[in-house]
């Protein structure tokens, strides 16, 4: 039996219907969930099958999702495991460190944030 570690993000999303996407299930190649919250949207369950990682698909999906959030004027938050290579992807898309603990790094992205030559610029 696989036991999932409950994070503040998972506790906060319990029992809510996601805005877009769904958590990964066996046989799925990709999944993403964007859940509206009181002060921001939470990017949850962003998953790509290992053979798709590094192909540009994650970048394209994240760019489209963030464009939609920008049009809505929505702040976006997420958490990623410390040491995860996914953190670089999020940083390239304008996410910055908000806080961290022994396991997770919590990041935030303001609407209209773009990345220029590895620098984050807010418009």
The total number of structural domains that make up the chain: 1
pLDDT of res. 21: 46
Question: Quick check: is 47 in a domain?
Answer: yes
Question: Quick check: is 19 in a domain?
Answer: no
Mean pLDDT on 12-29: 48
82 touches 104 (CB < 8 A): yes
Question: Quick check: is 45 in a domain?
Answer: yes
- Write the CATH number for 36: 3.40.630.30
Model pLDDT for residues 65-92, shown as the tens digit of each residue: 999 999 999 999 999 999 998 999 999 9
Domain membership of residue 51 as a residue range? 8-12+30-122
DSSP character string of 78-121: EEEETT-THHHHHHHTT-EEEEE-SSEEEEEE-TTEEEETTEEE
Question: Quick check: is 20 in a domain?
Answer: no
What's the pTM?
Answer: 0.70
Question: Quick check: is 21 in a domain?
Answer: no
60 touches 40 (CB < 8 A): no
Question: Quick check: is 97 in a domain?
Answer: yes
Has residue 3 got a pLDDT over 80? no
Q: In the predicted model, what is the mean pLDDT of the chain?
A: 77
List, in order, residues 6 or more apart from 105 with CB less than 8 Å away.
Answer: 79, 80, 81, 82, 84, 87, 97
69 touches 104 (CB < 8 A): no
Q: How far apart are CA 115 and CA 76, in angstroms?
A: 15
Has residue 42 got a pLDDT over 70? yes
């Amino acid at each position: 039996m696989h036991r999932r570690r409950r994070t503040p993000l998972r506790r906060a999303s319990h029992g809510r219907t996601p805005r877009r996407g769904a958590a990964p299930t066996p046989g799925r190649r990709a999944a993403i969930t964007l859940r509206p919250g009181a002060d921001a949207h939470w990017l949850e369950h962003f998953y790509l099958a290992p053979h798709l990682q590094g192909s540009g698909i994650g970048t394209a999906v994240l760019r489209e999702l963030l464009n939609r959030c920008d049009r809505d004027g929505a702040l976006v938050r997420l958490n990623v495991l410390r040491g995860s290579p996914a953190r670089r992807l999020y940083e390239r898309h304008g996410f910055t460190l908000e806080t961290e603990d022994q396991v997770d790094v919590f990041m935030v992205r303001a609407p209209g944030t773009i990345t220029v030559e590895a620098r984050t610029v807010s418009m």
